[in-house]
Structure 1
Amino acid sequence: MRIGQTSFIVFISKLGGSAIGFLATIYFARVLGAEVLGYFALALALVTWLTVPSGAGVVGVGAAMKKRMSEGTDSGEYLTASLLIVGAVTVAIVSTVILLGDYVDAYVGRPVASFVAGLLAVQVISEFTRDILSGEQKVHISGLLTPVKISGQSLTKLGLVVLGFELTGLLIGHAAGGLLVGIVGLYFVSSEIARPRREHFESLFEYARFSWLSGLKNKSFDDVDVLVLGVFVPSALVGVYSVAWSIATFLTLFDTAVSSAVFPELSKADAEDSRQIVSKLVNDSLTYGGLIVIPGLFGSLILGERLLRVYGPEFTQGATVLWILVFASLLYGYQKQLMNALNAVDRPDLAFRINLLFIAANVVLNVVLIAAIGYVGAAIATAISAGFGMVVSFFVLRALLSFSIPHGEIVRQFLAAGLMAGIVTAGLRAFEAIEFGYNIIVLLTLVSVGAGVYFVTLYGLSTEFRSTVVANSPVRIPQRLR
């Protein structure tokens, strides 16, 4: 797997930062409660959706810039053209949020409109900077910015919450981390500002008119359920749901790292008309897309209630939601790899149509199921729409590329996870039999043992996984262990 080292660097970077955020969220949940976290989740959901305005929006232009810069020609011109477009669109959206501030405040339930406007500007700066680095094929640097961002956010939030600022502290802290990423990331940008020509703008818009919906699709998967929940359920339940989502998202770090590392390589191979390499990279991305989420699904079924208990007693009601969201994340992870390939081979038109279907299904299912059965319906709607999107994405990409589904590798990952689940279940029953009362020790012990069993078993079962570990290991592994 040629992109193994890059994927691992991105993954470790995201893991370090997310671990800090994970611990910080536990503290905020125990100190502030589910209701305040619910207000915070609704404000962030608004921000993330507002970064995808109609037409050739911020996310669409960022994706187009990343694609065109990765092709290796006129990088400075594409950077400048994108900067002009994104700047103008962002100013317009921020101004609109300020003008409609009363409606924003009424929806969230707290006076947060000015924070939403500021967070929107900061998030655009952060995402745009990372798109530049990805376009320059500096995915490893872009990945290293994740712990910088989350650490900055978490530390600032902690300080402000300790001082008693509660929701305001969470919002200001979130903005601080994003701004830090923008500043640090710009230091590593090597492309220089250059005067763009009309064809550079036209090329960006040609790609962005389709790719912006891909960004909307990502926001739809992450946040449409939270936005709809804000209409139908109390803020406290939104907070419980958002905590379950944060755990599921934590498990998707590796598949996100894989797609980030694969995209520039896919784009370059496609530009060189190396279809065999493109097919191999698609196969690799599917092989490793569920590497972490598959055991995470088993773990969430067995330990979900105990894990949520760490956040506080009121969060344990989200145990069912948790495993459904992890399952949805697994399906969406595979869809993400397929859609990543579609965009990389310069077929944003097909990705556009798939994304349109995905978004429509997700929105409709969320409204119907949340209204019918409450916040569990949001998780079910997300899982169904992710499965639908995965199937459609597969057939569309299969019509363009000849690639194989790594059935054997995926089955071996499930087998290793199944063995892990059996041992973890036995360990849990042993702890319960002796009435061991320290929940955090039980969790840490079982998660550590489970992870060890999973990876050791997979290393023994899978020649592909074994070869990947050997090829990308920083130390030489003795022949007898291969």
Structure 2
Amino acid sequence: MDLGRSSVKLFLMQAGRSILLFLAVIYFARQLGASELGSLFLFQALLGLLTIPADLGVRGALEKRLSEGDHREGMLGSALALKLVLLGVVAVSIVLARSYVNRYIGFELAFILVVALITFELSSFFVQALRGELRVGETAVIRFAIRFIWVGLGVVLVTFGYGVIEIAAGFALAGAITAVWGYARCNTAIGRPSLEHARSLLEYAKFHAVSSTGGRIYQWMDVAIIGFFLSQEYVSTYEVAWQVTLLVLLVSKSIGWSIFPQVSQWDAEGELDKVEWAVSKAIAFALFFSLPALIGGTLFASEILGFLFGPEYVFGAAVLVILLVEKVFQSFDDIIESALRGLDRPDLAAITTVITAGLNLVLNPVLVVTVGFVGAAIATTVVGLISVALHTHYLSRLMTIEFPYRIVGWYALSSLVMGAILVGIRSAVPITSVGSLLAVIGVGAAIYGVLAVSIPRIRNEVIVPAIRVLV
């Protein structure tokens, strides 16, 4: 597997997915209103959280075992059998609790939630099977397709006057299409399930289930708790701010997905020096965007929310700034956590998840009740900092982590210079429209790019290697 080119493919995919969703959220925010959009986000939050019991680490275990190269057909068949059993249990539970589910979301969506969960999980299952075959780059098109199909259907439906129920149904349909597509792309045949292979999968899954739970809790628990204590308007405003900050993670997520199967292979071959080199370079690439995004986002938080989504979302500016800080931690954590799992230590990632998930479950409701929905952002940021500290501690026990201090220092200095110039520009030219906001953001990106290119270390160790991979 070509690690660099796989990362580029995944970056382009993730960039496309994120931009599509970002534009869709802008459109939905303006067409549906804050309350109805909040119900759509609660549907997604429930879907995201329900993938925890519907998976229990099976997908991650499948990726790991397939990447090791042994008994692939039996592993795939056994993993699929486990997956279908789990999906059946969760689906029945949703149906039995449908009245509570519908009341929480605000629409009759329980049955659509069942279908969406099944199709989404099967789509993700076959995508991770492709990763396990060390074909990470090929998953880019499929992952992009599920977002493209759903967003396309959603925009068309909203344009013709439909609402949340139809958009949710479109998500379920997109999952079904990409599940079939992912299955067709797999080279590994579905073998006969066996207890031996099931035990092997469960041995890894029992730890990965905990670590993957952390990701779902991180992504959706704050929204779910806001929806429980506050109105849908707060839910939509928080999630709008969250979607803006997700753009910061385009690079780190792509690299994290790429290095996991490669680190797994290098670990199996005893080439730890290659893992250490890859992790150091990955950190340098991941933080290239998150630091300037923090500075720029802090300066223009109100304008971003007000001009892009509508004036009713401006009160989420503080949430946006806090979540940008959290994304700096997360961009680093994406690399460290992927390397830790690739070194076959899901137990250590699981310990981190138990600690951070527990803190999240305590801090989020406490701070939401006492501080308001800003408290959810504070809780998520605190938990993010603790997560990266614990993952780094555990990974440093397995290998030497060469953190690129000088390069990150140059990132910080360049970002501050960019910020100072932008403050001067804003004082001279007020931002009064979407066009002027995008122009200022473009100027800031250009300033940071020029500063980065002018620094030899960044140019030689980050920009030039990136250009070589692209060409």
Q: Specify the alignment match of 1:39 in structure 2.
A: 39
Q: Classify 1:449/1:64 alpha carbon distance in 2 versus 1 (closer, same or farther; 3 Å).
A: same
Q: Distance in 2 between matches of 1:296 and 1:164?
A: 36
Identify which of 312, 315, 326 aligns with 1:314.
Answer: 312
Show CA shifts across 1:363-414 (max 9, x none).
1110110010110000000000100111111111111212211111211221
Show CA shifts across 1:17-53 (max 9, x none).
3212211211110111111111111111111111111
Quick check: 1:6–1:261 contact (8 Å CA) kept in 2?
Answer: yes
Identify which of 271, 274, 281 aligns with 1:274.
Answer: 271
Quick check: 1:156–1:176 contact (8 Å CA) kept in 2?
Answer: no
The two structures, once aligned, show a CA RMSD in angstroms of 1.8
1:444 equivalenced with 2:438 (yes/no)? yes
Q: Specify the alignment match of 1:243 in structure 2.
A: 240
Q: Distance in 2 between matches of 1:475 and 1:338?
A: 22
TM-score normalised by structure 2 residue count: 0.95
Please tell me the residue identity of whatever aligns with 2:370: A
My pick for the range that moved more, 27-36 or 144-153, is 144-153
Question: What does 1:364-403 correspond to in 2, within 5 Å?
Answer: 364-403=362-401
Identify which of 313, 321, 337 aligns with 2:335.
Answer: 337
Post-superposition offset of 1:462? 4.7
Secondary structure of the residue that 2:401 maps to in structure 1? coil
Q: Distance in 2 between matches of 1:27 and 1:440?
A: 14
Please tell me the residue identity of whatever aligns with 1:87: L
Please tell me the residue identity of whatever aligns with 2:400: S
Q: Classify 1:317/1:107 alpha carbon distance in 2 versus 1 (closer, same or farther; 3 Å).
A: same
Q: Classify 1:398/1:234 alpha carbon distance in 2 versus 1 (closer, same or farther; 3 Å).
A: same
Q: Specify the alignment match of 2:92 in structure 1.
A: 95
Q: Specify the alignment match of 1:210 in structure 2.
A: 207
Q: Specify the alignment match of 2:198 in structure 1.
A: 201
Question: What does 1:396-475 correspond to in 2, within 5 Å?
Answer: 396-432=394-430, 437=432, 439-473=433-467
Q: Distance in 2 between matches of 1:10 and 1:454?
A: 24
Q: Specify the alignment match of 1:163 in structure 2.
A: 160
What number of residue pairs does the alignment pair up? 469
Q: Classify 1:145/1:447 alpha carbon distance in 2 versus 1 (closer, same or farther; 3 Å).
A: farther
Please tell me the residue identity of whatever aligns with 1:463: R
Post-superposition offset of 1:126? 1.8
Q: Distance in 1 between matches of 2:309 and 2:262?
A: 40
Post-superposition offset of 1:330? 1.6
Identify which of 129, 138, 141 aligns with 1:141.
Answer: 138
Quick check: 1:156–1:173 contact (8 Å CA) kept in 2?
Answer: yes
Q: Distance in 2 between matches of 1:66 and 1:368?
A: 37
Q: Classify 1:476/1:106 alpha carbon distance in 2 versus 1 (closer, same or farther; 3 Å).
A: closer
Structure 2: gaps of 5 or more residues: none
Q: Specify the alignment match of 2:284 in structure 1.
A: 287
Please tell me the residue identity of whatever aligns with 1:165: Y
Q: Distance in 2 between matches of 1:372 and 1:462?
A: 48
Post-superposition offset of 1:319? 0.7
Q: Distance in 1 between matches of 2:191 and 2:171?
A: 32
Q: Distance in 2 between matches of 1:130 and 1:412?
A: 37
Secondary structure of the residue that 2:192 maps to in structure 1? coil
Q: Classify 1:440/1:228 alpha carbon distance in 2 versus 1 (closer, same or farther; 3 Å).
A: same
Q: Classify 1:206/1:475 alpha carbon distance in 2 versus 1 (closer, same or farther; 3 Å).
A: closer
Q: Distance in 1 between matches of 2:422 and 2:346?
A: 43
Secondary structure of the residue that 1:51 maps to in structure 2? helix
Please tell me the residue identity of whatever aligns with 1:457: L
Post-superposition offset of 1:96? 1.1
Q: Specify the alignment match of 1:189 in structure 2.
A: 186
Q: Distance in 2 between matches of 1:448 and 1:386?
A: 29
Post-superposition offset of 1:110? 2.2
My pick for the range that moved more, 384-393 or 402-411, is 402-411
Quick check: 1:81–1:200 contact (8 Å CA) kept in 2?
Answer: yes
TM-score normalised by structure 1 residue count: 0.93
Quick check: 1:5–1:472 contact (8 Å CA) kept in 2?
Answer: no
Q: Specify the alignment match of 1:63 in structure 2.
A: 60
Q: Specify the alignment match of 2:354 in structure 1.
A: 356
Q: Distance in 2 between matches of 1:175 and 1:125?
A: 11
Secondary structure of the residue that 2:429 maps to in structure 1? helix
Q: Specify the alignment match of 1:233 in structure 2.
A: 230
Q: Specify the alignment match of 2:259 in structure 1.
A: 262
Post-superposition offset of 1:417? 1.7
Show CA shifts across 1:92-125 (max 9, x none).
1111101110111122222221121121112101
Show CA shifts across 1:142-195 (max 9, x none).
122233122111110011112222111221222233223223222321111223
Q: Specify the alignment match of 1:480 in structure 2.
A: none
Percent identity, aligned pairs only?
Answer: 29
User: Could you list the runs of 4 or more consecutive aligned residues of structure 1 that deviate by over 4 angstroms after TM superposition?
Assistant: 474-477
